[in-house]
Amino acid sequence: MPTQVPTLSQSLEDWLTFILAVHPSEIEMGLPRVRQVAENMGLLQLPESTIITVAGTNGKGSTCAMMESILLAGDFSVGVFSSPHLHRYNERVRINREELEDRDHIEAFSAINEARGDIQLTFFEYSTLGALYLFAKYRPQVVLLEVGLGGRLDATNIIDAHMAVITSIDLDHQEYLGNTREAVGREKAGVMRPQCFAIIGEPSPPQSLLDYGNKIDAGLLLVGEDFSGVFFEDSWQFDGQFRTLSNLPIPQLPKANAITALAALECYFPSLTDAQIRQGLQQAQLAGRMQWLADNVVTDVAHNPHACRHLAQQLAQIKAKRQGKVWAVCAMLEDKDIESSLAPLLSVVDHWLPAALSVPRGSDGNRIQQQTAASACYGDVAEAIETAKSQAGELDLVIVFGSFYTVAQAQSAVLGES
């Protein structure tokens, strides 16, 4: 296991290998270590940027992507930190929708390693500090920080954001966040700050979240009470605190997240015009979120019960329009609630093709096969996709889902991305 600190002339891959090697665990909740390093580097504030922290069980990436797209249409410079990546580490930090060069990340990692002294940092903590370093360097007007896990003890929460967004709340990562929605809600509520807007896109927020928001005097705005959206066949209407927008284009990303994104933007960016908002909604996209890879192949990162319920609704709508069958290639991580995740899809999917996921914590596919009564289990995602494509009819749909790893392998198999 390498312990020698790489040099600035070595590759990004060398640095990533080093970072993974110097901390024994993938996740270590708590802020004192990462906050101390950030303080050493002068990164606890980004004085030239408006910062929005986005938490939630699902929908964080889509909400960030729509806010990013609309802000760019409004001529704001925008930095986004997101995770995990699908193919390249560089996907985690983008400025004005562009990934940064390897040398930028190497420079950031070198500075972090020098500032940390004997303090151990996880991979995600390195990633978060690296993003903050690059945002301090390039100074975008707006920074969108996507929480990695939970909120209260997530590394992104060392920053006092100008606004918090909480997209949805359900059960996932229970070993860290708790086994009830109330426990999860309290963890995610930790990203809120006193006298700062907190946009809640979860239609049934746990009382723990509301109680904490009121306790610290956060500016709570709740979907269904303070803002809402009504969708029609070809357009939709947003009703917010400060404006109503009609005849909006239906976004490519989840509708509920579009409502939340507009609720956040109207609070802090009143200069955005109706035309800029429409343009941003039309252009917003995000890999792995109902992403069409071919005419009959779509992929999605859904990997927990909440996301799979939404996926089932989307597949039912597509199935009704296409009048064909649904073939599902599914590969998941072994530590996920596979049975509860697949349950809402059983009535929509006609043919199941479970696949093994050869990554750390990857499932061998047996639990998926048992839950779905599939006739076979495939060695990998690519083999399952090839089988589904060869057997699917002209009107049929192949959905590939179950994890970020699954989506990445689907993209590689269908599009040749690596």
Give the mean model confidence (pLDDT) for residues 68-86.
97
| CA dist., res. 381 & res. 362, Å (int) | 12
Among 94-98, 147-151, 344-348, 413-417, where is mean pLDDT lowest?
147-151
**pLDDT 10s digits, 370-382:** 999 999 999 999 9
Give the mean model confidence (pLDDT) for residues 1-26.
83
Tell me what pLDDT residue 170 has.
Answer: 80
Tell me what pLDDT residue 368 has.
Answer: 97
Residue with token string 């802000």: 71
Q: Are strands 244-248 and 326-330 parallel, antiparallel or unpaired?
A: unpaired
Q: Which residues contact 382 (CB under 8 A, 6 or more apart)?
A: 409, 412, 413
Contact yes or no for 156/129 (Cβ under 8 A): no
Of 224, 169, 228, 161, nearest to 197 (Cα)?
161
Of 49, 64, 68, 42, nearest to 133 (Cα)?
42
Check pLDDT > 80 for residue 149: no
The two structure tokens encoding residue 374:
């599939």
Contact yes or no for 46/79 (Cβ under 8 A): no
Tell me what pLDDT residue 121 has.
Answer: 93
Among 104-108, 127-131, 317-321, where is mean pLDDT lowest?
317-321
| CA dist., res. 339 & res. 227, Å (int) | 34
Tell me what pLDDT residue 2 has.
Answer: 47
| CA dist., res. 181 & res. 164, Å (int) | 19
pTM: 0.91
Q: Starting from the edge strand earliest in sequence, which strands make up the sheet with 142-146, in order?
A: 98-99, 93-95, 78-81, 142-146, 50-55, 163-166, 197-200, 219-222
Tell me what pLDDT residue 193 has.
Answer: 97
Is 416 or 179 the better-scoring residue by pLDDT? 416
Check pLDDT > 90 for residue 214: yes
Tell me what pLDDT residue 9 has.
Answer: 87
Give the mean model confidence (pLDDT) for residues 225-244.
96
Q: Are strands 297-300 and 291-294 parallel, antiparallel or unpaired?
A: antiparallel
φ, ψ for residue 373, nearest 5 deg:
60, 35
φ, ψ for residue 5, nearest 5 deg:
-70, 125
Tell me what pLDDT residue 179 has.
Answer: 65
Nearest 5°: the CA angle 132, 101, 21 is 65
Averaged confidence pLDDT in the chain = 93
Tell me what pLDDT residue 311 has.
Answer: 96
Check pLDDT > 60 for residue 31: yes
Check pLDDT > 90 for residue 203: yes
**pLDDT 10s digits, 259-306:** 999 999 999 999 999 999 999 999 999 999 999 999 999 999 999 998
Tell me what pLDDT residue 1 has.
Answer: 42
Check pLDDT > 70 for residue 154: yes
Tell me what pLDDT residue 151 has.
Answer: 79
Tell me what pLDDT residue 27 has.
Answer: 62
Give the mean model confidence (pLDDT) for residues 205-213.
95
Give the mean model confidence (pLDDT) for residues 195-224.
96
| CA dist., res. 319 & res. 323, Å (int) | 6
Check pLDDT > 60 for residue 395: yes
Check pLDDT > 80 for residue 143: yes
Give the mean model confidence (pLDDT) for residues 82-109.
96
CATH numbers and ranges of domains, the chain: 12-283 (3.40.1190.10), 291-415 (3.90.190.20)
